[in-house]
Amino acid sequence: AASGAGARVVRYDASLEQRLTQRATIAADLRRGLTAGEFHLLYQPIVELPHGRTVAVESLIRWSKDGRTISPAEFIPVAEDTGLIVELGAWIIDTVCAQAAAWSRRHGCDALRSIAVNVSARQLLDPGLVDVVAGAIARHGIPAARLTVEITETAVFAGGRALATVNALSALGVTIALDDFGTGHSSLGLLRICPVDAIKVDKSFVDGLGGGPQQEAIVIALTGIAETLGLYTVAEGVETAAQARRLHELGYRYAQGFHFARPLPPAAIDDLLDQQVTT
């Protein structure tokens, strides 16, 4: 290999080009995968404290390709950049509503209070999103409030139309949850301008539980804010029994995380709901 400054420049260009090529390859592959039915959804329980009963679920997408499962962190950004998220997102929303209807038929309509779907920045900028959501809840006969749309602060601030879309979704009656709460620049400010029903307290704050007053300050402060504003809170990324206990002590009612359950295939949620009836 060549040496010196020139070689470093060449190597940098090559890796940039590699990244761009990789991106284009993933984009083409995403399109193919969508038609080939390679995507599926897992559902992670959201439980009520302290007993840990599943009261809601969050849908999380996976891509199975060549016997390998690809994480959304790898392909959602590419789907966003290429606009493919709009088509993929419509499939996700329809699939989630169909699944909610199936669980409701099988376990009774009170078995799950809500089923959440993640919506990204690019989707909020799409003028068709509200019709996609309205169409899916009507087609599958889901009460609007049972569908929770999880948005992030970054997504709401992504552009002019995003906030109007959130308002229109809220007017449909769907539940709006602010995801990764506390990680953005204006999380609290957003609560004033956006019709939020729930906040999902980010894992990074849950990680600090048990670490003393400074580490716990935000988790504690958020309960007061949520109560004043009439929002419900979900603590994300709960990995230990100690964290779950501490959340309950601090007045948290809902939690989600590997301590309770990993994201699961629909049949495993069926088993869980069957078991809960008998306990």
Q: Considering beta carbons, is residue 150 or 153 the nearer one to Ca ion?
A: 150
Report the residue from 82, 167, 170, 240 that binds Ca ion according to the rule CB under 5 A: 170
Pairing of strands 53-65, 68-70: antiparallel
Q: Are 113 and 146 in contact (CB under 8 A)?
A: yes
- Selection from 106, 124, 116 nearest residue 41 by Cα: 116
Residue 78: CB atoms within 10 Å: 18
Q: Which residues of 79-101 are buried (b: 16+ CB within 10 A; e: fewer)?
A: bbebebbbebbbebbbbbbebbb
The reply to whether 257 sits near ligand C2E by the rule CB under 6 A is yes
In the window 199-238, what residues touch ligand C2E (CB under 6 A)? 237-238
Report the residue from 61, 163, 196, 272 that binds ligand C2E according to the rule CB under 6 A: 61
Report the residue from 26, 263, 272, 273 that binds ligand C2E according to the rule CB under 6 A: 263
Q: Considering beta carbons, is residue 37 or 230 the nearer one to ligand C2E?
A: 37
Size of the site for ligand C2E (CB under 6 A): 22
Report the residue from 54, 95, 120, 233 that binds ligand C2E according to the rule CB under 6 A: 120
Q: How far is the CB of 55 from ligand C2E (least distance, A)?
A: 16
Report the residue from 179, 226, 252, 269 that binds Ca ion according to the rule CB under 5 A: 179
Report the residue from 31, 38, 48, 72 that binds ligand C2E according to the rule CB under 6 A: 72
Report the residue from 80, 126, 153, 180 that binds Ca ion according to the rule CB under 5 A: 180
- Angle between helix 72-82 and helix 84-107 axes, rounded to 10 deg: 130
Q: How far is the CB of 3 from Ca ion (least distance, A)?
A: 46
Residue 41: CB atoms within 10 Å: 19
The reply to whether 179 sits near ligand C2E by the rule CB under 6 A is yes
Question: Residue 120 binds what, of ligand C2E, Ca ion, none (CB under 5 to 8 Å, by partner type)?
Answer: ligand C2E
Question: Residue 33 binds what, of Ca ion, ligand C2E, none (CB under 5 to 8 Å, by partner type)?
Answer: none
Token representation of residue 69: 């499962």
Span near ligand C2E by CB under 6 A; candidates 1-9, 99-107, 112-120, 136-144: 112-120
Q: How far is the CB of 24 from ligand C2E (least distance, A)?
A: 21
Residues that bind ligand C2E (CB under 6 A): 44, 59-61, 71-73, 76, 92, 118-120, 150, 179-180, 237-239, 256-258, 263
Residues that bind Ca ion (CB under 5 A): 118, 150, 170, 179-180, 197, 236
